[in-house]
Chains A and B, each alone.
Chain A
Amino acid sequence: MRWNSSASPQARFVLTCSVIWVGSLLAFNQSPAHPTLSPAPSNSTPTPQPVLVVIDPAHGGSDPGALLTPESPEKEITLAVARRLRQELSARGITSQLVRDGDATVSLDQRAAIANSAYPLLYVAIHASSLGSGLRVFSAMMPAAGDNRGPFLNWDAAQGPFLERSKAAQQQLVTAIQKTRFPVRALMAPLRPLNNLKVSALAIEISPTTGDASQVGATGYQQMICSTLANAIASLVPLSTAKTGTQP
């Protein structure tokens, strides 16, 4: 079609708008699918953003979790540990956010949504058990679910693209904790919401070293574990910021 200089101003306006609209659409399609996960490179020096760790005290509200002792439901222990861990991280200059900071019922989907929307460096779920000894650090065991369909992430497999990063963080944490000679194991677990998270995600299960479940509820034991964990998490920070620049 030839440009007709005698076309009316209205027609020229409509044509110009159409060209701008098509151009912007093409430009948008060339940008990354998840711009928040892969920020576009910029010539200017990136502004350092505080490193964020999302701490998720498991259970809560109507879900008491395991009954470690008659007076210590798991939900109370996980909340106490999460609060201590927040303090320990804060003392090391690391900002953290608790998924629940009281006895509230939070569904697994809500927990995943809170963590996904916060874009943390690391998500850590806290659990407690009377079984075994010391700490267990879990990464997600992916279910036999379908793959992502086009632009839509499969909710059950959202962790898939981030699993390698989670396992690297798991290995680093375990190595750091092993240096303190505290018993620790790295395992995978079919544990929600780990597989619903699109960030590095781990779960930590605390168990007694003496075989007495009441040890998990003891202030001194919790403090020692939180200090160890905070040191281990702090060891992740320089490496990850050096690798990925600022975390979104």
Chain B
Amino acid sequence: MLNSVEDIIRGCRQKDPGAQRSLYEMFSSRMYGVCLRYCGSRDDAQDILHEGFLKIFEKIRQFEFRGSFEGWIRRIMVNTALERYRNQNKFVSIRDDSIEDYEKPEDFDISEDITAKELMEMIEDLSPQYRMVFNMYAIEGYSHKEIAELLGITEGTSKSNLSRARVILQEKIKEFYKQIDKIGIKYEKVGSNR
């Protein structure tokens, strides 16, 4: 499989259309998932996927077979999304609080029966700045210093936005479980009526 990916990369370096198509088919779904996480709409996600793959094909000579190729592609997609959001949303800081001001999420139990699609919908509902910081910190593994540099905000704002995003997501999860419970009760009631 590794040789196959290497062959595709080498083909892409030669601008081989077949190799480019293969690369797209291999990674487009995973990268589309990444794009959706960073975007508020599917149209935006598709634009970033489009722009990101063009960059990948353009810059693929820079990949030197060191480290993960998927990580390299993923970085391009994330950077493309960040660039787009910087230009579109201008990243106005909501707060620049100190760490002590964080609203810490309450502890609660989480079952594992939430689907990826439902989780994605919750992230999409976040405001752009919360969504970006949460994605970068919680899922991509960026440090607050790196997030601050990339988004042009302070580290304190990054931490504050992350905290707020967690609280909002926690509320959404609670709300989700409440809906599940209601649906379950309804089912029981319907069943008991029969």
Query: Are the chains A and B members of one assembly?
Result: no
Q: Which residues of A contact B (CB under 8 A)?
A: none
